[in-house]
Amino acid sequence: MTERGYRDHFLKGRYTGDIPVLPKTLSSPEILRKFIFNAPGAIGYLRVSDVNSSVKVVSVDGHLPDNHQYPLLIEEAAN
């Protein structure tokens, strides 16, 4: 799913009432890492290049982000 597809999914869900509250969007990877570190149980989405030792990477179906079968990969936007 692209970032636009992700955003559109939640906007549609909010509009139809299927998703009562939209996820928070934070302004930078640094702020997201601090939020995740300081909020027990928090989950966030980061690009692999933005992960550091302050956060834990979650495996899905036994796959980590360096595996092409990892289902939560974010497509990088072309520069």
The domains of the chain are located at 25-79
At residue 14, the pLDDT reads 92
Structure pTM?
A: 0.62
Give the other-Cβ count within 10 Å of 50's Cβ.
Answer: 14
At residue 68, the pLDDT reads 86
Alpha-carbon dihedral 6, 76, 47, 29, rounded to 10 degrees = -80
| Interval 19-39 mean pLDDT | 90
The model's confidence at residue 31, banded by pLDDT at 50, 70 and 90, is very high
Give residue-wise pLDDT tens across range 39-79.
888 888 888 889 899 888 889 999 998 888 888 776 666 55
At residue 17, the pLDDT reads 93
